[in-house]
Chain A
Amino acid sequence: QKEVEQDPGPLSVPEGAIVSLNCTYSNSAFQYFMWYRQYSRKGPELLMYTYSSGNKEDGRFTAQVDKSSKYISLFIRDSQPSDSATYLCAMNQMDTGRRALTFGSGTRLQVQP
């Protein structure tokens, strides 16, 4: 079983829809959670990061972390065709010896105009 599970999609939505992207994880030591956006054949771009449980909002994006359920989400409001990309969740431990990021396999999102 992978440490981080993510539905690969593709997820297809109409422009303007609210998008919900999710990851589950098994390692309870993870405390720092990130979402990256990756366009085709490009490097991942950091969108948001959160520490421990709670919500964080940045423009059209909201990240949620539920550590009790080992479940994280990214919501995109008023989705645009330019949001079409692969979304990767990533996480790591607040441990000086382990700074590697553990990624999900990514969810491919298509926003139809």
Chain B
Amino acid sequence: DAGVTQSPTHLIKTRGQQVTLRCSPKSGHDTVSWYQQALGQGPQFIFQYYEEEERQRGNFPDRFSGHQFPNYSSELNVNALLLGDSALYLCASSPERSGVFSYEQYFGPGTRLTVT
């Protein structure tokens, strides 16, 4: 059973550019969350997608946007990159079964983004 997968593993971009990161959730999971983890810090919640809609958003600017596809996979897009966007971007998935909430989130290996 494949876990959460993310691509690419590493990415180097220049300030002002745009980037797209991809995530495939764990089998049987339909909810995808994205987190940003700066060096030496805990992950910070960006947003969560369920049924192809953004359900909850953290304190991140509109430069951060996302999408969820019918197969539950997801993309994170960041526009107008800043040096401060350099971080490990983590995708987490969880199951959302009707009437039974599961709060455990399972993380992928992350995409390390470096902005120069």
Contacts and interface: CB of A to CB of B under 8 A. Distances in A.
Given A100-B58, A101-B45, A43 B110 contact: yes
Contact of A92 (B103, B108, B110): B103
B20 to A, nearest CB: 19
B33 A42 contact: no
Interface string B84-116: 000010101010000001011111111010000
A34 interface: yes
Nearest to A108: B40
Interface residues of B, number: 29
A49 B31 CA distance: 18
Nearest to B4: A43
A62 interface: no
Most chain B CB neighbours (cut-off 10 Å) among A8, A41, A100:
A100
Nearest to B55: A99
B42 A43 contact: no
Nearest to A2: B42
Given A98-B56, A99-B56, A100-B48, A44 B43 contact: yes
Contacts of B109: 42-43
B103 A99 contact: yes
A106 to B, nearest CB: 5
A102 interface: yes
A90 B107 CA distance: 13
B59 to A, nearest CB: 10
Interface of B: 4, 6, 31, 33, 35, 40-45, 48, 55-56, 58, 88, 90, 92, 94, 101, 103-110, 112
23 contacts: A6-B42, A8-B40, A32-B103, A41-B88, A42-B109, A43-B6, A43-B107, A44-B90, A45-B107, A46-B106, A88-B42, A94-B101, A98-B56, A99-B33, A99-B48, A100-B56, A100-B58, A101-B33, A103-B44, A105-B41, A105-B42, A106-B40, A106-B42
